[in-house]
């Protein structure tokens, strides 16, 4: 099957995670993505380690984000590189950046400069907080954005401190939103022959993830959600919604009638309690009672009772348990990648199917300047 974005050329001038993750999605869908890095050190993400695990002397993070791309090394502060880049822009369909405000203009990588060269370009940009906001000069760093966005007050129990996600949620959300905008821009460019500027911010993207909760907040007098005091999983959802400890692990239970749950668990104390109390007023106490009961048996025991009765529940898995349970294999979520220096490693695939087909590519991330010679760039 021909991938839907084959024939589309993307100049990925971005770094770290947010915009490069959008470039990765475009590459997986068939676009030719050319990662353009600064002379000398390249993308700072090459040396951004979360462990001591390296691939081809670069961080595993860099390889995860930039696989399936070509690579150029350019000193955009030189006239020679600027001339070459302008020629490249004339052949491209998309440009991606995520610099601090003002940096792109200094390097002639701003939207106005790019569109003077190629008016059909779809120009995609991610900033931390927007170019003209009061916080535009602040560092666009994921944890800081999580702290500003309110999302940390959705996690953890009521008496706990604000709790951030264990993922770079702002970067990931902004990358997905930028990719959506780029695809819309490409469709519009093919229809009208005109390019456009696609912009999103880490902060607005993280706010968008909370659209359900914000809709309630903005329409009920700005009343803050109250996290459960025990096993909170969503401040707007009452018991039994949460994760519980069992005799040998953990069990997640979603929405279901407490009376039905008490009956299935043969839990008369809970059945009697609910006769004189409400879930809305006594959610935490109900959760504590459930926790006491669920600790008496292994997870598998409870699943054997609850799942046949159509109770939405599951064993809570760590990564090793996921792998042992065959999730990666059954969903074909693991693909083998070959690095430029011949090393083999595994990563996840693009999660999108088209007409039932899964898109994979074994091409790893480029070494710094790997494709300079192929593009006719000579060493200075």
Enumerate residues 6+ apart whose C-beta is below 8 A from 133. 201
End-to-end CA distance of the chain: 41
Per-residue DSSP letter, 108? T
Distance CA 179, CA 271 (A): 50
Q: Which of these is catalytic: 171, 238, 282, 284?
A: 171
**Are the C-beta atoms of 80 and 380 separated by less than 8 Å?**
yes
Cβ neighbours of 338 (radius 10 Å): 14
232 closest CA partner among 291, 275, 272, 274: 291
Burial 77-101 (b: 16+ CB within 10 A, else e): eeeebbebbeebbeebbbbbbbbeb
Q: Quick one: angle between helices 169-192 and 18-28, nearest 10?
A: 50
> In the annotation, is 310 catalytic?
no
Phi, psi of 263 (to 5 degrees): -65, -45
Chain-centroid distance, C-alpha 55: 22
Per the structure block, which two tokens stand in for 259? 């009376």
Phi, psi of 134 (to 5 degrees): -60, -15
Per the structure block, which two tokens stand in for 102? 């003002």
* Active site members: 171
């Amino acid at each position: 099957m021909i991938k839907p974005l084959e024939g589309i050329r993307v100049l990925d001038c971005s770094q770290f995670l947010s915009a490069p993750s959008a470039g990765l999605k475009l590459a997986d869908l068939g676009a030719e993505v050319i990662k353009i890095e600064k002379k000398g050190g390249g993308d700072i993400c090459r040396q951004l380690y979360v462990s001591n695990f390296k691939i081809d002397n670069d961080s595993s993070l860099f390889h995860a984000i930039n696989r399936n791309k070509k690579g150029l090394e350019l000193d955009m502060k030189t006239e020679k590189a600027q001339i070459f880049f302008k020629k490249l822009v004339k052949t491209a369909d998309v440009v991606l950046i995520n610099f601090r405000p003002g940096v792109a203009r200094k390097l002639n990588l701003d939207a106005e400069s790019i569109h003077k060269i190629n008016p059909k370009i779809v120009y995609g940009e991610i900033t931390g907080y927007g170019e003209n906001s009061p916080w535009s000069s602040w560092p666009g760093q994921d944890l800081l954005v999580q702290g500003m966005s309110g999302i940390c007050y959705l996690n953890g129990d009521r008496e706990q401190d604000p709790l951030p996600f264990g993922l770079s949620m702002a970067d990931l959300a902004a990358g997905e939103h930028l990719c959506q905008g780029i695809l819309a821009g490409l469709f519009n460019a093919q229809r009208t022959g005109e390019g456009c500027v696609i912009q999103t911010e880490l902060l607005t993207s993280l706010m968008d993830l909370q659209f359900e909760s914000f809709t309630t907040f903005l329409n009920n007098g700005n009343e803050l959600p109250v996290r459960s005091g025990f096993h909170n999983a969503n401040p707007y959802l009452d018991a039994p919604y949460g994760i519980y400890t069992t005799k040998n692990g953990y069990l997640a239970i979603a929405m279901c009638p407490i009376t039905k749950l008490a009956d299935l668990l043969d839990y008369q104390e809970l059945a009697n309690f609910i006769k004189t109390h409400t879930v809305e007023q006594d959610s935490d106490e109900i959760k504590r009672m459930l926790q006491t009961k669920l600790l008496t048996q292994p997870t598998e025991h409870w699943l054997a009772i609850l799942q046949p009765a159509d109770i939405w529940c599951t064993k809570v898995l760590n990564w090793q348990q996921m792998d042992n349970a065959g999730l990666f294999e059954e969903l074909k979520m693991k693909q083998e990648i070959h690095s430029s220096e011949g090393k083999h490693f595994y990563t996840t695939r693009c999660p999108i199917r088209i007409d039932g087909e899964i898109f994979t590519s074994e091409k790893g991330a480029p070494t710094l300047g790997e494709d300079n010679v192929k593009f006719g760039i000579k060493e200075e």
